[in-house]
Structure 1
Amino acid sequence: MKFEPAPLEDWMRLYYFAVDDDIGSSGVEDYSLADLRALLGIGADELDAVVFRDSTSFGGEEVRTAIAAHWGTGDPDQVMVTHGGSEAIYLVLSTLLEPTDAVVVTEPTYHTHTSIARTMGCDLRVWPLRPENGFRPDLDDLRAVVDGAKAVVVNFPHNPTGASLTPAERDEFVEICREAGAYLVWDQAFREMVVEGEPLVDPVHDYDRAISIGTLSKGYGLPGLRVGWAIGPQDVLRGTLDLRDRMTLHLSPLVELLATRVAQNADLLVGPRMDNARTNLALLRKWAAEHPDLIDLPVPMGGASTFPQLLGHADTTDFCHELARQHRTLLVPGTCFGDPTRVRLGYGGPAASFARGLDTLALVGEKARVQN
């Protein structure tokens, strides 16, 4: 298959490693191996005991058991461990879908949720997240497009907007998918990253056609570990093996060891990072109130990013180029998500760097406003 371009990945390739302050990413501050060893009590003897033999196609039993216990139904046979959430999304969608299948996707959206189905020749039906509603999902909009759909693909809290469902809306949403008989591909990359309240209940607990996609890359600050998973019906997971046997085969046993210990002690990692994100979000809201001529900020319900409009910019791309090239500050233009007037603004990074990034954004934004 020849995929359409992925503007977000192109942008991150260009600037992610070329800036000092990152206020565009959707994750949190990264942990080091030393951090993990200290937080989780991983000794040198455990690392030395790792033997670099092959793992199994679905992942070793210990890591699948740990993931099933913390994020799943408790059944390790419903878990497949993958190279990040991206591999899980690719394997699951490529296995579930056939050309001409109808697939419901949100808009705006993360690119893999749409590009795989579009490349396969599926009929994409848009469930719009409307800016005039703060990007909050409207279930009546879903009802208008779900009949006859093979799958509904979502992530809540949502990337890039930070919008989500209430617990009652989540239950209604699952029931809509059940009545339509659609598979529900629930990308829970930001599950624990809620601004207030508790994380939503994963649909794998109450819908037998739900497939949950998870990752340690976002709230857990471990993107370089490249650990993700799919939790779902065994027949769907078995169906992915034709692809996996021709791609990645399995994970490293060293990666599985670290992922197991993280899953067994997940709150130790995500808790401090979300405390920092909430502090940064409070600073962002105060900053936005002080710059009403620069930004229109929708308040997120979760995740670590929001999707504000930069006022006075019909297309924010050149502005974001200038921030990165001349001021070494990363901000992602809305063209990467289909709306050129907006930017993805991430608030999950280190507090000092985030504050510097906002100062730079204000300085360059005010300069652009005066010039215009």
Structure 2
Amino acid sequence: MRLRSAPLEDWLRDYYFTAEIDISSSGFHSYSMAELRAKTGLRHAEIDRLVFDDGYSLGAPEVRAAVARHCGGVDPDKVMTTSGSGEAVSLVLSALLRPGDEVVVVQPGYHLLVEYAVALGCTVKTWRLDPDRDWQPSLDELAGLMSERTRAVIVNFPQNPTGATLTEAQQERLVRLAEGVGAYVLWDGAFTDLTYDAPPLPEITARYGRAVSFGTFSKAFGLPGLRFGWCVAPPELLADCVRIRDYTTLHVSPLVELLALGVLENADAFIRPRLDQARINRTTLTDWATAHPGLVSLVPPAGGVTAFPRLTGIADADAFCDELFQKRGVLVIPGSCFGRPQHIRVGFGGRPDLLREGLDRLTLALTEARG
């Protein structure tokens, strides 16, 4: 397989570590080790007792059990712990898909969920979200894309970058569509816990035997640097993932799993404060867009901490975003990274004061660019 470059990562690689104000991120501002220890009660003595032995191929049993509880009480035998959800996604796709397999992906969408299937030689069909419909997914359109040749439907809801999601009834219909043709549903649940106007959607693997879900600490938990993730999948598929992993990472670090266990056992202490903050930030963002209808058009995100506003009167969003960074120190993501060059991705999971300052600078830049 040969992977194409990931425009999002290419952009962030050049700007992320030197931005004065980052309002681009798809996650929360990160917790420190001191905050992690305070929230979990982890003591230095527990860390000192850790021995850096090799780990279990599917993850330490107690950590798999904690993931299973967090996912609503699924069977721990269906859980695999991974280095972020990215490893889980790549392992599952590598184990499941073959050249020529037909898969459905969502656009605009996160590059891993699209490009990995392309690199594996799959025939890719695109389920497009339309800004003129407020990014709302059409299950009728999905039905038209599927056939008995469909191997998998790859989705992430709530969605990155648009913030769109499904209702529980729509999730159920998606499952029935997949079941009707025997397809797998690969469900990236990075934003599962981050919803505003409705409760989180049910764990999809409890609804469908050929579903796979992915989770991560990088978004709702505010711990991207810990690099901990997981998947919930049929055990026979996990066995195939292990055969691939035997040639690469082998297992998750025992130190990461020690920290992850404490986090999972105190999940609400990590998620709740940041979600409460995100609710406030979401209002700040939507109020800003409402106040500047001549500059941007924004669909309020239903979940996650990203929004995907359209810029008014900006011919080249890439050049605009570069100038915004160079002149005003503000980082946003140009929509070209998601195949929508007239849009930008704005993240609202950071500190409220930085979001307000970043939006003020963005307003000045947009006003200046329009003359």
TM-score normalised according to structure 1 size: 0.98
Tell whether 2:158 aligns with 1:157.
yes
SS at match of 1:16: helix
Tell whether 2:84 aligns with 1:114.
no
Is the 1:4–1:119 Cα contact (8 Å) retained in structure 2?
Answer: yes
Letter in structure 2 aligned against 1:40: T
The aligned residue for residue 134 of structure 2 is 134
Superposed displacement of residue 197, structure 1: 2.0
User: 1:65-214 to 2 correspondence within 5 Å?
Assistant: 65-71=65-71, 73-147=73-147, 148-214=149-215
Is the 1:73–1:204 Cα contact (8 Å) retained in structure 2?
Answer: no
Superposed displacement of residue 207, structure 1: 0.3
The aligned residue for residue 300 of structure 1 is 301
The aligned residue for residue 349 of structure 1 is 350
Is the 1:304–1:346 Cα contact (8 Å) retained in structure 2?
Answer: yes
Gaps of at least 5 residues in structure 1 are none
The aligned residue for residue 272 of structure 1 is 273
User: Cα RMSD between the aligned structures?
Assistant: 0.9
SS at match of 1:74: coil
2: CA distance, partners of 1:312 / 1:261: 49
The aligned residue for residue 335 of structure 1 is 336
Q: Deviations over 1:233-289 (max 9, x none)?
A: 001111012221111111111110111111111111111111111100101111111
Superposed displacement of residue 77, structure 1: 1.2
Letter in structure 2 aligned against 1:84: G
Tell whether 2:241 aligns with 1:230.
no
1: CA distance, partners of 2:321 / 2:277: 25
SS at match of 1:113: helix
SS at match of 2:18: coil
Q: Deviations over 1:129-149 (max 9, x none)?
A: 111111111100100001121
Letter in structure 2 aligned against 1:256: E
Superposed displacement of residue 74, structure 1: 3.3
Superposed displacement of residue 72, structure 1: 5.2
Of stretches 100-109 and 166-175 in structure 1, the one that deviates more from structure 2 is: 166-175
2: CA distance, partners of 1:73 / 1:244: 26
Superposed displacement of residue 315, structure 1: 2.5
Letter in structure 2 aligned against 1:85: S
Letter in structure 2 aligned against 1:21: I
SS at match of 2:321: helix
The aligned residue for residue 244 of structure 1 is 245
2: CA distance, partners of 1:158 / 1:16: 22
Letter in structure 1 aligned against 2:12: M
Letter in structure 1 aligned against 2:82: T
The aligned residue for residue 38 of structure 1 is 38
2: CA distance, partners of 1:308 / 1:80: 36
Q: Deviations over 1:284-328 (max 9, x none)?
A: 111111111110001111000011101112330011111112221
2: CA distance, partners of 1:73 / 1:95: 25
TM-score normalised according to structure 2 size: 0.98
1: CA distance, partners of 2:278 / 2:129: 23
Q: Deviations over 1:75-126 (max 9, x none)?
A: 2211110010111110001110000000000111100111111111111011
Letter in structure 2 aligned against 1:95: A
Identity %: 47
The aligned residue for residue 22 of structure 1 is 22
Gaps of at least 5 residues in structure 2 are none
1: CA distance, partners of 2:136 / 2:203: 19
SS at match of 2:85: helix
